[in-house]
Structure 1
Amino acid sequence: MATTTMAPTTAERIRSACAKAGGAMLAVEGMDPAESPVHHLLDDGSFAVTVPHGALLAGQVATAGPAGVPAFMEMTDYAPLPLREPVRSLVWIRGRLHHIPDSAVAPLLDLVASEDPNPALLQVNSGPLRDADDLRYALLRLEVDSVVAADSTGAESIGVSELLAARPDPFCAMESGWLLHLESAHRDLVDRLASRLPMSMRRGRVRPLGLDRYGVRLRVENDEGDHDVRLPFAKPVDDVTGLSQAIRILLGCPFLNGLRARRA
């Protein structure tokens, strides 16, 4: 008998982290890490990344030749709420950075922008610097050797093919706003969700930690430390209607599956 998946796969979590993480850090041995506001997974399994134009890293990659430069990228997924420990997960990617020929930059920018209209793309190779504070980026390609994700459940390595086959969670774009609204305007709903926890885990402060198509995650902060708990939906959901229904069921709404009260 088939079983219902109760949590996202590691590949799905990484794809969602790629979509949500505001920035990544690129590190090359012997140089200070550089922030990469763009970190977009391409169809060939490599990442389109950006580094400050004119930085030592960009120059080294430009002169490295076909072998590229060994590099390490770290993406951090932060909780939208001010939690005691705000980091929800980390993704580490090892590989080699490669220069992108000038003739290929514009087509690649168009491709990335069609899927992820990141404002930083407008600052890639967009003319000479006007002053010292004018920030420009160079577009590079990170060829992937290994991918590892870590969160409160542990760490796991996955292959590039698994990553390409997975998709970001359908609610990752709305998750931050939903969690902030739940915390600030609907504390009663958080308390109802917390009532689903085992008695031993209700000591301390319960905060909304995450939302995905498989369920809601809560963070319990108490004197013994931080504890993350997943409250799974009855089945995965794919749209806002299904999400609303799943949350009602999770909250113990008496009208399950959207049923209406009988008329007298």
Structure 2
Amino acid sequence: MGGGHTWTAVPGAAQRARTVLALAWSCAATAQGGREELTGAHTVTADGRVLLRPPEDSALGAAALCAPRGELPAVLEFADPAPVPVRDRVRARLWLAGRLTRTGDHLEFRPRRVVLRQASGSVVVDPDEFAAAVPDPLAPAEGRLLTHLADAHPDAVRRLTRLVAPDALHGAVRVRPLAVDRHGLTLRIERAWAHGDVRLPFHTPADDVTQLSERMRALLAQAGAASCPRALQRQRADGDG
């Protein structure tokens, strides 16, 4: 990749895990050998505890109520799907192992083991670092921003490929925006039978949407000064991934 970037940081594992947790609308809970899918039934506290309000007929709720010492060992799983349709849409999975306790009208889950799996592999996150981390500040707006970039500005996505090394674009049939955070933009490069991701780091982190707009303009300006890659065969602005 060209362009003379000096900032190459990526989100730390603890922050990435907290971001996945903050954005997840559903989760899968496994306890006593059973697995239950819960949608819109959880909230997250500032220190990373998960508060569950399962439906009245939930087997999980009944098991927690009857658990010895009022604690039920459980594993919660969360997925992070890309906002834009792409091949292999789940960008990350997060597993939290811990114990459920009943507190008032909800179940409280405190993680004791945290595992984050991304395309680069799985990593165990220290529970204290997980509790202290905060989600990426751009996370609440990421879906809207990426969808707008993909649908309304495919020309800008094409221009950004000028910052990608030609080898990474060899055989590409489509390039889509996969993720954005305060440190950079990630593109998904799809080939006929495979795909890969390329990260375009910002020169400095962005803490809000206004700063993100400036960072994106800087990337596009660098792309405009770069030579157009020959390896990109075609780029489709639509499609269902």
TM-score category of the 2 structures, normalised to the smaller one: 0.7 to 0.9
Note closer, same or farther for the CA distance 1:12–1:45 as it changes in structure 2 (3 Å cut): closer
Task: State the Cα deviation string for residues 180-236 of structure 1 (Å, max 9, x = none).
Answer: 111111001000111111111222211000111001010011024121111100111
TM-score scaled by structure 2?
Answer: 0.83
Superposition map of 1:88-167 within 5 A: 88-101=91-104, 105=105, 139-167=106-134
Tell me which residue corresponds to 1:56: 59
Q: Partner letter of residue 160 of structure 2? A: L
Structure 1 contact 37–49 (Cα < 8 Å) conserved: no
Q: Partner letter of residue 89 of structure 1? A: A
- Identity fraction in percent: 35
How many residues align? The count is 217
- SS of equivalent to 1:170: coil
Q: Partner letter of residue 161 of structure 2? A: A
- SS of equivalent to 2:96: strand
Tell me which residue corresponds to 1:176: 143
Structure 2 contact 18–135 (Cα < 8 Å) conserved: yes
Structure 1 contact 34–52 (Cα < 8 Å) conserved: no
Q: CA deviation at 1:4?
A: 5.0
Q: CA deviation at 1:248?
A: 1.0
Alignment of 1:227 with 2:196, yes or no, is: yes
Residues in 1 aligned to 2:110 and 2:214: alpha-carbon distance in whole angstroms: 41
Tell me which residue corresponds to 1:243: 212
Tell me which residue corresponds to 1:216: 185
Note closer, same or farther for the CA distance 1:178–1:44 as it changes in structure 2 (3 Å cut): closer
Task: State the Cα deviation string for residues 63-94 of structure 1 (Å, max 9, x = none).
Answer: 21435111110000001112121101000011
Residues in 2 aligned to 1:30 and 1:157: alpha-carbon distance in whole angstroms: 23
- SS of equivalent to 2:110: strand
Residues in 1 aligned to 2:185 and 2:84: alpha-carbon distance in whole angstroms: 15
Structure 1 contact 6–214 (Cα < 8 Å) conserved: yes
Query: Any stretches of 5+ residues in structure 1 without a counterpart?
Result: 106-138, 255-264
TM-score scaled by structure 1?
Answer: 0.76
Structure 1 contact 61–68 (Cα < 8 Å) conserved: yes
1:68 to 71, 79, 84: 71
Query: Any stretches of 5+ residues in structure 2 without a counterpart?
Result: 1-5, 224-241
- SS of equivalent to 1:69: strand
- SS of equivalent to 1:33: strand
